[in-house]
Structures are given as C-alpha cells and as structure tokens.
Structure 1
Amino acid sequence: MHQANGWTATGLRWQDGAPLLTASEGRQRHDRPLTDGLAVAWRISGPRRCTGAHTERGHRPCPHHATVQPEGTTSQCPSCQNADRGLQLARDRILDDGRDYRLYLAWFAPGLLKVGLTAEERGTVRLLEQAALAWTFIARGPLPAVRRAELALAHARLARERIPAAAKYPAWWQLPAPAERRAALTAARTRAHRLLAEQGHEQLEPLPDHPVTDQVELFGLTGGAPDRYQQVTSLADGARLAGRLRRPIGGHLFLDRPDGLPLLLDTRLLTGWTLHAEPDGPGCAGLTLLTRARPEAEQDALF
C-alpha cells in the first residue's frame, strides 16, 4: 500500500456476509475488511473524483477522471451514471436482460416496509447493502414480470419502493422483539401473495415458504444504536476520521472515538475521496456533524 499517495474509496460491498471497503490505488483495486473493533485513522484529501460505473463487464473506471461535488452521496459524473447498470435498472432503462430476478420484502421498522427486486445471481447482497433488518423473498421470474409485481405491491400501498436512509435511523434505537419482526413480515408476505394471485401474475413463481431472515444481530443492533451520536453529513478536503469501528449496518459505519460522541458515517460520503492512513495523527476534525439523540420515553401524566 502506497500510504504516501493514499488510496481512493470506491464503495462498501458485502461478500459472503462480510463488509469490505473497496478502494483503488492507481490501476489496482483492493478490498479492505471492515471488522468489528477495527481501529482506523484516515486523513481525507481531494479533489473528490468520480468512482466510475458498474457495467456488464464489471467495474469501469471513469474515462474522464472527472471531479464531482464534495457534498452529498453521489460520487459519479453524469457519463458514468448513464453507463451504470444498477442505475439503468432503477430508472427502468433495462426492460429485460435475460436474467432471473427475485422479488423481496424488506422490513426496517414498524410501518416501514420496502418491496424491491434483485438479480438472482446476487443472492442476498442487496438486502445487506440497504441495511434491511429483516427480509424475505416472495417470488422469482424474468425481470419484466418481477418489475410489474413490484409496482403492483407498491401501488397497493403494501410496501414502498424506496426508503431514504434518514427514515431508517430512528428505528435503530428501539426495535420490537425478533418474533414481532418476523410476524409483521410474514403477515405482509401473505398479503402480497394474495394480491399477486388475484391480479394473475402468471410469469411469476411464488415462493410462499421462503424463510424470514433477521439481520439485527449481524448488524450489531441487538442492543440498539448509541443513545447519542453525531451523524456525519459532509466531508471536506483535509478532514480526519479516527476511532474504532462497530459492525457496519448496510453501508453505514458507527465509529467510536475517545474524544467525543460516536460518529455515524454513510460510506457513500466517503467514496471518491483519497484516504491517507495516519495512525499517529490527531483525532476527528473538519467534519460537518448533526447530533442525534434517543427520544425520551413518554411518561404518563401525574395528574
């Protein structure tokens, strides 16, 4: 590793149930395991550059070596966004690619249920990426049929197509018991199968007996999120991140630091920046932070 030149963060991915921070050093790409308790000390330098596109042939570096805005979670230039296979699917620019897909329900909190699709060859990675606390597959089939079913369940208001990250955070403080999570998801799956059967989605193969998978323990949330923490809302050239990682939650990192409240970092903010390992450097600095605190429990009136 060329620490003098640093390495560029290109994303967080899950492989075999383990989170990896992907990075590039020149033309070489590396995966860096993000283990529970890992000590990190990074200095961030710019400019922030486009992270390229994921295509049918794999990852393609940005041919323009373009710079992108330092704020926000978008780390692709317009050209790479247009070429990115995942974004093409999300924007319905790929109508059928010959692959099999699975339709899923993902549970994030009481009343917060998502319907989505993922290529069968990706297994359960999509559910790990988006920090689904519990999930189940409900059907499989070709992309057009699975997409129609996804829209049908969303239009019926059984589940949402998209849930922003900010809506997921509050649920981490107080989760219902595993049996309650499983019961809620199982009931939603039953309603979904009934609705799809009534509408006659013949090209779908229902998966009525697929088990419910709970990922709360995997994400280290059995005890909930820290009572108080600071969310990183933006990074800048020269910022520093230092502390000890907790288990990643989808694409989010909790970082315990000795000199303040824990930090919550959406790793999409990190992508495109050059990171330099500086274990002997100062603590966290140059970050825009938003303090979050567990809401106080409502108390019964005394009179």
Structure 2
Amino acid sequence: MRWREEGARWMWAHPSRGVRASPVRLGAPLHLAVAGDAVRRCAGVWRRGRGIPCPDSTEVAPGARRDQCETCAALDRASSVAADTVPDDRQPYAVYLAYFGPGLLKVGITAVARGRLRLLEQAAVCFTFLGEGPLMAARRTESVLGSALDVPDRVLDPAKREARHRLPGPAARAAEVAALHARVTALHDKLPESLRRAPLRCVDHAEEFGLDTDPPPPPPAAEVTALPPGSAVTGTVRAIAGHDLHLDTAEGPLLLDARLAAGWPLSRPDGQTLPAPTAPLRPRTPDPDPLF
C-alpha cells in the first residue's frame, strides 16, 4: 500500500500488465484472501514509483512485516537517506515536526519533492515543516533538536496506534505543534544557516485518515498476525493511517498492517478460506515513574 496525494492506493504487480493501482476508500469493503497453495515472494525494491522485481523471487515468511529478502533489503539500504548511506545527495530536504497524539511528536527529514507523502506514510496526524536545505543541514537540524529539546527522531508503531485513539480536537493538536515550533524557532542561532526557515503551517490528516468521525473509530480489539495460505480478511475500512487499516468486522474492530499483504498473490475469499489468525491488542503498560 502506497500513499499518493489522492489518498492510499493498493499497488498491484501483474506479470504481464505491470504495476496497477486501486484506491483504498474509507467506508468501502475489504476482501483479501490467500490461496491454500500460494507462496509469498519478496516484493523487490521500490524506486521512484516503480517496482524492481527480486532477481531470485525469494520466499518470505507469512508473518514478516518486511516484504523483502536480505539481498533486496540491502539494496534498499544502499541508497537510503535514513541509513545515512547517501551523504552526497544533492536534492533539497525538508525538516518537519510530526504529531501522532498528545505529547507524542518527532522531528524528521524528507526530500522536498515528496512533500507530505512521507508524513502520510508515517501516520502523522498533523505536521508542520520547519525549513528546507541541503541534506547535511537537515541532518544537523534533526540532531540539534534531539539534543537541545529532547525531540525524538523516531516513534514506534505501538505508541502511534494507541495515541490515535485518544486525540484531542484539531485546535488542541495544532496548538501542541505550534508550541514546539516556537521552541525550535527560539534556537535560531543553533540551527544551520543554510536551512531556509519555513513559517508555522500545521497540516492535519485526521479527517483524511478517518479519525475525526463522530463517533470516532473504536480501538481495535485484535490485530492480524499473518496472512498464511488458506486465510482471508473481510471487513469494512473504518480508518487508514500510514500502513495500518482499521476494519469493522463481524468479530469486532480489527487492525490489519498492510505490509502483511505485500508479496502475496491475493484474490477474493471463497468457501475454502478461513479467517486470518489474530492476537488481542492490549493497551501498552506505561513506563514506571523514576525513583529519583
């Protein structure tokens, strides 16, 4: 599943028809099945909107979140900005503040050409850009905010999933982003001169994700753990955030990580398929208060 300006899209790789896209719509039914004799194969490498097939069609485990073999994953890392393997990248980069829920914000960088797509992929409920400039200036800004303001550059999926079900209203979300933006602005003498600053402009994705409905989508009671051969997922799309699909099903609210579907030959369910295995989703245990 990939995000475009028009919304989330399933990207299908057909042996003779090439890559095709179909929209993932809020309120629409979702029916995915994996045949009993199907094998999950490495999805290859995705570059500039095109899929490069895995040369060995390596088999991938049904429950793996990463849909690549080690060879293709290494090829991805070899040209990854996140892994710091392309320090001489000459395209401009933007620094952003992303908000996932109350008290849950991060700083990150993305290519200017990608715009907000990186934020949609990360399930950022709202965000603002801080500025743009060369890659090293963006990296330096990210580092300064981490050390001076203790702003993390990473937020894990379990924390994002829990936070999106206790969101305040749009004004409160924007106010929290604005408060951090003001703290960053106060560090102007510590930020690289080559970073062109951007004014505060909070962009909110909650409505696009389906999180601002009345009533809001209920927290999932369970999550799909794998799509093994002979299994199926059937439901109605209630919300979409990053790679997470929140579904209404006959058994209750269900979370499907769309990465589990990558690499499978998929079809519609029939009488031979069984429900995909699931596991209960429990609230995270909060960290204990420090003694000192």
Common topology (TM > 0.5):
yes
1:219-262 deviation line (CA, Å, top 9, x unaligned): 111243315522122332221111222241121111222x2112
Equivalent AA in structure 2 for residue 271 of structure 1: A
Residue from 129, 139, 142 that aligns with 1:147? 139
TM alignment of 1:69-148, pairs within 5 A: 69-84=61-76, 88-148=80-140
Q: Distance in 2 between matches of 1:68 and 1:198?
A: 49
Q: Distance in 2 between matches of 1:239 and 1:87?
A: 35
Alignment check: 8 A CA contact 2:231 2:274 kept? yes
Question: What is the aligned partner in structure 2 of residue 13 from structure 1?
Answer: 2
Q: Distance in 2 between matches of 1:174 and 1:247?
A: 14
Equivalent AA in structure 2 for residue 164 of structure 1: L
Between 138-147 and 222-231, the greater mean CA deviation after superposition: 222-231
Following superposition, the deviation at residue 102 of structure 1 comes to 0.5
Question: What is the aligned partner in structure 2 of residue 275 from structure 1?
Answer: 266
Q: Distance in 2 between matches of 1:263 and 1:283?
A: 18
Distance of aligned partners of 1:214 and 1:56 in 2 relative to their CA distance in 1, 3 Å threshold: closer
Find the residue that maps to 1:91 and give its secondary structure. coil
Q: Distance in 2 between matches of 1:289 and 1:240?
A: 15
Question: What is the aligned partner in structure 1 of residue 155 from structure 2?
Answer: 163
Alignment check: 8 A CA contact 2:31 2:268 kept? yes
Following superposition, the deviation at residue 19 of structure 1 comes to 0.7
Residue from 17, 28, 43 that aligns with 1:38? 28
1:70-122 deviation line (CA, Å, top 9, x unaligned): 22311111211122269621111110211011000000112211111111111
Structure 2 runs not aligned, ≥5 long: 286-292
Question: What is the aligned partner in structure 2 of residue 261 from structure 1?
Answer: 252
Distance of aligned partners of 1:228 and 1:118 in 2 relative to their CA distance in 1, 3 Å threshold: closer
Alignment check: 8 A CA contact 2:220 2:255 kept? no
Runs of 4+ in 1 over 3 A off after TM superposition: 55-58, 280-284, 291-295
Following superposition, the deviation at residue 182 of structure 1 comes to 0.7
Following superposition, the deviation at residue 288 of structure 1 comes to 2.7
Q: Percent identity?
A: 36
Question: What is the aligned partner in structure 1 of residue 179 from structure 2?
Answer: 187
Question: What is the aligned partner in structure 2 of residue 8 from structure 1?
Answer: none
TM alignment of 1:27-66, pairs within 5 A: 27=16, 28-45=18-35, 46-55=38-47, 58-66=50-58
Q: Distance in 2 between matches of 1:187 and 1:101?
A: 23
Distance of aligned partners of 1:293 and 1:192 in 2 relative to their CA distance in 1, 3 Å threshold: closer
The TM-score with structure 2 as length reference comes to 0.88
Find the residue that maps to 1:88 and give its secondary structure. coil
The size of the alignment, in residue pairs, is 280
Following superposition, the deviation at residue 271 of structure 1 comes to 1.1
Question: What is the aligned partner in structure 2 of residue 9 from structure 1?
Answer: none
Following superposition, the deviation at residue 293 of structure 1 comes to 7.0
Alignment check: 8 A CA contact 2:79 2:86 kept? no
Q: Distance in 2 between matches of 1:68 and 1:153?
A: 38
Alignment check: 8 A CA contact 1:52 1:76 kept? yes
Question: 2:224 aligned with 1:220, yes or no?
Answer: no
Q: Distance in 2 between matches of 1:103 and 1:135?
A: 11
Equivalent AA in structure 1 for residue 205 of structure 2: Q
Q: Distance in 1 between matches of 2:26 and 2:66?
A: 27
